[in-house]
Amino acid sequence: MKISLRQLLLVLFIFSLVCCQRKVALEVPVLQTLKVSENKRFLVDEKGDPFFWLGDTGWLLFSKLDRGEAEAYLADRAQKGFNVIQVMLLHDLSVVNAYHDSALVGRNIACPATTPGSIFGDSLQYDYWDHVEYLIDKAAMYGIYMGLVPVWGSNVRSGAVEKKEAARYAGFLADRFRNKSNIIWLNGGDVKGSDSLEIWKIIGSTIKQKDRVHLMTFHPFGRTTSSLWFHDEDWLDFNMFQSGHRRYDQDDTRWGFGQDNWKYVLHDYALVPIKPTLDGEPSYEGIPQGLHDTLQPRWTADDIRRYAYWSVFAGAFGFTYGANAVMQFYKPSDKNPSYGPREYWDEAIHLPGSEQMQHLKKLMLSRPYLERIPDASLVENNIGLKYDYLAATRGIRYAFIYTYTGRNFMVKMGKISGQKVKATWFRPIDGTLTSLGEFDNHGILEFDPPGEQAEGNDWVLILDDASIP
């Protein structure tokens, strides 16, 4: 069949209209390089200013959302103060994106499916990896760093990834993305490091050999921490733990920490060499307690706040939030969603917990951050068990004490500077402040949070040196 010049031009015009929706050149800002602070407890930017990691788990972003949907998600998260999105590059070896582009040729991790330059001469081409690159750049425009998981752990644990393939794929990733200013590498992916230990080391070391600029950690299996296997690895810049989704009575692990995610922080905090740590996956808002039984109660915003304040006050350098429907970007077309989400992703981005996380970030950055230490000795005698636990942290001139249940507690004064202190109640649910006045900074004082004692009636007592304006 002959095709006339006119017909050919019409086909090319239609093709260009369709494709131009997917290839828009971006003027991408350069975000500041992140590094570990001098005291090895926190992250800072190039200027030395503290970077408080407020993450969200958008695990399936690259595969489930088109560009318009992704921008709506990123805009919402930026507006709420999130500055890191944790996302999988490969959920499985057959993954395709919203435009039906495959990530790999023949499910072979060593063969990323990339295309040659387009006939239109744009730098953005038409494949899975160009879509990934576009969304990384779009995130940078919102001031967001992308925590990239190279390949989800189940693929490696199943034996589908060989050592040579892993090395080649890791080299491809480093070459492709190392010049992006807004990436952080998250090796692993919900897996124990002891599962395919050598492959995780190959991925970590291969990327790090080619990319010495960007930070890297390991996202581990539930109720474990990266430090169990990789603390001494040169490629591991900071530790990450997954406190998981189980209640106290559902935890059958060796440590038995249950919901006490602050205990993982204390474990990593005591290790040598010193490395920062944080909870990279606590219970998700809206997910069943214990994960798999959808008839179980769901974790709520109250629970997420508890995990956030407990871990950060224990010494973590930030916190990662998650919502059940958002992490998998549940849509009406999805036939078999995981863990029984009750909302679609574009509704779930408005769950109250995601809005409340910004108050923690603002509180922590409102005082000199890099001098901060955990200090349980601020609480006199009864630090509390389980939900009654009191988390305490301080700097030189300030102290914070968090109660999840709003119970009375005794404070040992004199731990911060000043003859007198200003006391203030901070409400984590909305960030409001209530002044209590000034007190002598010596002896033992009792504080009674507003409201009746109950789970979710959480408050932070702020103590400041009264001589500081």
The reported pLDDT for the residue numbered 432 is: 98
What is the Cβ-side half-sphere exposure of residue 428, based on CA atoms within 13 angstroms?
30
Residue type, 110: A
- Whether the CB-CB separation of 198 and 163 falls below 8 Å is answered with yes
How far does Cα 402 stand from its chain's mean position? 22
What's the confidence (pLDDT) of residue 126? 79
DSSP code of 325? Answer: H
- To 10 degrees, what angle do helices 262-269 and 301-313 make? 20
- What was the pLDDT predicted at 27? 87
Instruction: List 53's β-bridge partners, or say none.
Output: 318
Which of 243, 250, 352, 351 shows the shortest CA–CA distance to 293?
Answer: 250
Res 310: pLDDT: 98
DSSP assignment letter at 102: B
Output the pLDDT for position 13. Answer: 43
Tell me, what's the pLDDT at 424? 98
Considering all CA atoms of the chain, what is the largest pairwise distance in Å, rounded to the nearest integer?
A: 95
What pLDDT, on a 0 to 100 scale, did the predictor assign at position 26? 74
Name the residue type at position 366.
S
Q: What is the model's pLDDT at position 14?
A: 41
Q: How many CB atoms lie within 10 A of CB 288?
A: 19
Express each pLDDT in 228-242 by its tens digit.
Answer: 999 999 999 999 999
Per the document, the length of the chain is: 469
CA 311 to each of CA 43, 151, 242, 267: distance values in angstroms, whole numbers, following the listed order: 16, 27, 11, 12
Where are the extended beta strands (E) located within 42-107?
Answer: 43-44, 50-51, 53-57, 84-88, 104-105
Alpha carbons within 13 angstroms on the beta-carbon side of residue 100 total 0
Output phi, psi for 167, to 5 deg: -65, -40
Phi, psi of 464, deg, nearest 5: -125, 145
The parts of the chain modelled with pLDDT lower than 50 are 1, 7-23, 118-124
pTM here is: 0.93
d(CA 370, CA 462): 17
Whole-angstrom distance, CA of residue 169 vs CA of residue 149: 12
Half-sphere exposure at residue 432, Cβ-oriented, CA atoms within 13 angstroms: 5
According to DSSP, the residues that pair with 96 across neighbouring strands are 102
| Separation of alpha carbons 280 and 218, rounded Å | 10
The H-or-E segment that residue 427 falls in is none
Q: How many other C-beta atoms are found inside a 10 Å radius of the C-beta of residue 37? A: 16
What is the number of other CB atoms lying within 10 angstroms of the CB of residue 430? 10
CA pseudo-torsion sign 117, 118, 121, 124: negative
Structure confidence at residue 2 (pLDDT): 52
Q: Residue-wise over 179-192: b if at least 16 C-beta within 10 A, else e?
A: ebbbbbbbbbbbbb
What pLDDT score was predicted for residue 11?
41
pLDDT at 91: 98
* CATH numbers and ranges of domains, the chain: 22-365 (3.20.20.80), 375-465 (2.60.40)
Quote the pLDDT of residue 116.
Answer: 77
Q: Torsion-angle region of residue 179: left (phi > 0), alpha (psi -120 to 50) or beta? A: alpha
Give the Cα separation of 47 and 63 in Å (integer). 35
Going from the C-alpha of 110 to that of each of 105, 171, 201, 210, 282, the distances in angstroms are 9, 10, 17, 17, 32
- pLDDT of 20: 46
